[in-house]
Structure 1
Amino acid sequence: MKAAVVEEFNKPLVVQNFPDPECGPNDVIVQVKANGVCRSDWHAWVGDWEWIGLKPELPHILGHEFAGIIEEVGANVKRFKKGDRVVIPFSMGCGKCSCCQTGHQNVCENLTIFGFACNGSYAQYTRVPLADVNLVHLPESIDFTAAASLGCRFMTSFHAVADISGVKAGDFFTIYGAGGVGLAATQIANSLGARVIAVDIDDSKLDMAKSLGAFATVNSKNENPIEAIMEITKGGSDISYDALGIAETCRNAILSLRNRGTHVQVGLTSKEEGGMISLPTDLIVAKELQIKGSLGMQAHRYQALLSMVESGQLHPEKLVSKTIPLEEASSVLESMGQYGTVGSIIIDRF
């Protein structure tokens, strides 16, 4: 099969013929129809996240935001057949541990991150392990490009906003970072009745946030974002959301909260922070702030997400800025080092 392969970290991907994936008894092989190029792929490409076990062994195929059609089905798989249209969460569970048994497969004790622990979907075909636990049927009404844009960014934001944040209609919901995760969160929080404030240093991304329903935007290159948010909200945001994961955005997000506010951390850090960020601890205590982490989303929660897409309450396709052939994936990753992308870029030609 044709695949874009990481042979060296921080070097261009090599598009080459790669061995076809083998289907185990609990697996399926999917023909990839569309795949998002995600900032998480960039972190893997440069060799970040070794401290949390997410530095892949080389050579490696990236990709974890995909939709496609089942080509082959393992002997033990019961819920899927050849020809089914499917999509997956990148956070895959084992189905047996206590977290999986209580419906929290996204934080499985034996968690597998698709495209990191196993080869991903920058390829014509990919293997999905433990398909009955981790795979999701894709409705005919949702095309493959829109489904791929649901990948890491949109499904992560859906879980974080709808399940973790405790958002209520009328809440001020401040999002630091208007990349893919932040823009998805903007659309989702807006659909749930929140007043979204998007913070970024790029006016084009802030313009996109406005088009997705942001109540207000703040360019933190031009003004102090904490002061701006305190003025807009008259006392602080009910919820803050760090979509980027650098020390500055994490701290600023927490400092933007009103008393008893909630901070949701979604962005993972980079090599510079190494997973460690200092926080305004005394303020967290004095204001009784809550700090919550959020990772991925369980396969069973896709039903709610896909229903909102089918009903027209959510429009993931609006986040797609362009589609590209597989050969251009490497140049997109390179541009991410300077935050050079807006919205979602989808590979749809293999």
Structure 2
Amino acid sequence: MRAVVFDGFGADLEVREVPAPQPPPGGAVIRVEATGLCRSDWHGWKGHDPDIRIFPHVPGHEFSGVVEAVGAGVVSWRPGDRVTAPFVCACGSCAACAAGEQQVCERQTQPGFTHWGSFAEYVAIDHAEVNLVRLPEEMAFSTAASLGCRFATSYRAITTVGRVRPDEWVVVHGCGGVGLSAVMIAAAAGARVIAVDVSFGALELARRFGAITCVPVAPSRTETGSGPGPEAGATGGDRTGTEDGSGPGNGSGVPGPGPGPAVPGLRPAVPGAEVAARIRELTSGGAHVSVDALGSPETCTASIESLRRRGRHVQIGLLPGLTALPMGRVIGHELELLGSHGMAAHAYPEMLAAVARGTLRPEALVTRSIGLEEAGAALASVGSVPGVTMILPRR
């Protein structure tokens, strides 16, 4: 098969002919029709993820396609089925899985990290009975691929973890793929959404997807590049696929505001240290829910300080190492600090139904489609285009 391959951290990303995967016992091989480009893949390529140990390696973890072959013991799936899968592939038998919390499986595998991923014509997954999700016939593969990581992560973060209710103020810090998804989902839930970003292009998309107010942030000197920027967001093991967000490292799109292009209704950009105060002003005391969809000490702190008393902070973006947080405010205001890591396959039907009704429009987040030959350069410069980039391996 053809696949995007690298032979070491930061090494050239090349399209090569490599052996196609075989279905593991209980698993399946998927013929990839579409796969999303995510900043988590960039972190893997740069060496920030300890799960990548063997080279050559193929990145990619959010995909959709058609079952090509199944392994021994698989009874619910057969070749020709249209499917997607969460980026967390659960074992189905640990204590977390038994409790229905497959997104935090104790023995999870993740394509593109624990084994070869989906920047290829075929990808293998483990435990097909637990992890495959059947797609509606009318759903385009690019739409389905956009669900598997960023959108599904945001869906659960907003609806289940953050418990967003109509008329609540929700602030989304960082409007890359996961942040824009959170904006759309929170707006669909009836919340009043504020989008925060260094990129005017990202804020334009956030306004289109339901944000009623946008707060542009003036980037610091290290935040004005057009690529992934400082090597932030590196963690051990788990990922949400959210690090294509913007803010520090400018992962969401066009270079940070200069003044930048005009977005109707935007005030001048504010320094990062003043973001929380601006949000408290706009919401008459603070947001009910604030989401860090980027993952930096600055955005995490701003998110917590944006909240009203008894507000809820949801951390989706991965944070670098240990981070000092304003715990005095957490205690004094009785704030909730919540983490959110993907979504289990069994929870997909509710989200798919909302997409089918047109309540949610993940396809609108896809702003460009490319082939495998363009994927290496796109990964190396992830964040240079607003929205979600989709790779079509058979293009």
Which bin holds the TM-score, normalised by the shorter protein?
over 0.9
Q: 1:161 corresponds to which residue? A: 158
Deviation at 1:113, TM superposition (A): 2.1
Query: Residue 3 of structure 1: CA displacement?
Result: 0.4
Contact 1:7 1:14 in 2 (8 A): no
Q: Does 1:38 align with 2:35?
A: no
Q: 2:70 aligns with which of 73, 88, 95?
A: 73
Deviation for aligned residue 1:347: 0.7
Matches of 1:306 and 1:345, distance apart in 2: 21
Question: Residue in 2 aligned with 1:104?
Answer: 101
Residue 279 of structure 2 is matched in structure 1 by 229
Cα distance per residue 1:182-241 (max 9 Å; x no partner): 000000111111111110000000000000000111001121211211111010010010
Counterpart CA distance in 2 for 1:349 and 1:11 is: 21
Which amino acid letter does the alignment assign opposite residue 176 of structure 2? G
How many Å separate the matches in 1 of 2:390 and 2:306?
A: 33
Tell whether the 8 Å contact from 2:49 to 2:113 is kept in structure 1 after alignment. no
Name the CA distance, whole Å, in 2 between partners of 1:190 and 1:304: 17
Give, in whole Å, the separation in 1 of the partners of 2:391 and 2:22: 23
Superposition map of 1:180-329 within 5 A? 180-221=177-218, 222-223=269-270, 224-269=274-319, 273=320, 275-329=321-375
Deviation by residue 1:90-133 (Cα, 9 ceiling, x = unmatched): 11111111110111001011122222111110000111111001
Letter in 2 for 1:346: M
Paired AA for residue 309 in structure 2: N
| Cα shift readout 1:162-194 (whole Å, capped 9, x = no counterpart) | 110011101101010000000000001111111
Q: Find the counterpart in structure 2 of residue 175 from structure 1.
A: 172
Deviations 1:7-60 (A, max 9, x none): 12123311101111011221111110000001111111111133xxx3443211
Paired residue for 2:241?
Answer: none
Aligned-pair CA distance for 1:159:
1.1
Distance 1:246 1:228 in 2: 19
Sequence identity percentage: 44
In the alignment, the residues of structure 2 paired with residue 247 and residue 198 of structure 1 have an alpha-carbon distance, to the nearest angstrom, of 18
| Corresponding residue of 2:28 | 28
Q: Secondary structure at the match of 2:24?
A: coil
Question: Distance between the aligned counterparts of 2:290 and 2:111, measured in 1?
Answer: 28
* Counterparts of 2:25 and 2:94, CA distance in 1: 20
- 4+ residue stretches of structure 1 with deviation over 3 A? none
How far apart are the structure 2 equivalents of 1:86 and 1:10? 31
CA contact 1:32–1:123 (8 Å) conserved in 2: yes
Q: Which residue of 1 aligns with 2:79?
A: 82
In the alignment, structure 1 residue 332 sits paired with structure 2 residue 382: no
Q: Residue 90 of structure 1 aligns to a residue in which SS? A: coil
SS of corresponding position for 2:381 = helix
Secondary structure of the residue aligned to 1:11 is coil
Change (3 A) 1:49 1:276: farther
How far apart, CA to CA, are the structure 2 residues paired with 1:150 and 1:278?
A: 32
- Separation of aligned partners in 2, 1:47 and 1:323: 26
Distance 2:296 2:21 in 1: 36
Higher mean displacement: 2-11 or 199-208: 2-11
Q: Secondary structure at the match of 1:112?
A: coil
* 3-state DSSP of counterpart to 2:206: helix
Q: Which residue of 2 aligns with 1:135?
A: 132
2:111 and 2:160 map into 1 onto residues whose CA distance is: 22
Q: Distance in 2 between matches of 1:100 and 1:172?
A: 33
Maintained 8 Å contact 1:332/1:341: no
Alpha-carbon displacement from aligned partner over 1:293-348 (angstroms, at most 9, x marks no partner): 01011000111111111111110000001000011111111212xx3231110011
Deviation at 1:160, TM superposition (A): 0.7
Is residue 37–residue 345 contact of structure 1 (8 Å, CA) maintained in 2? yes
Paired with 2:6 and 2:352, the residues of 1 have a C-alpha distance of 32
Contact 1:200–1:206 under 8 Å retained in 2: yes
Query: What is the RMSD of the two structures over their aligned residues, measured on CA atoms?
Result: 1.1
Q: Secondary structure at the match of 1:323?
A: strand
Verify: 1:345 aligned to 2:389, yes or no: yes
Structure with the largest fraction of strand: 1
State the one-letter code of the partner of 1:298.
Answer: A
- Structure 1 unaligned segments of length 5 or more: list them: none
Q: CA deviation at 1:74?
A: 1.6
Would you say the 8 A contact 2:119–2:393 is kept in 1? no
Residues 44 and 56 in structure 1, CA contact (< 8 A), matched pair in contact too: no
Aligned length: 341
> How many Å separate the matches in 2 of 1:45 and 1:244?
18
In structure 2, C-alpha distance between the alignment counterparts of 1:46 and 1:328, rounded to whole Å: 18
Gaps of 5+ in 2: 219-268
Query: Following the alignment from structure 2 to structure 1, what is the Cα–Cα distance between the partners of residues 290 and 49?
Result: 24
Q: Deviations over 1:124-155 (max 9, x none)?
A: 01111110011110111111011111121101
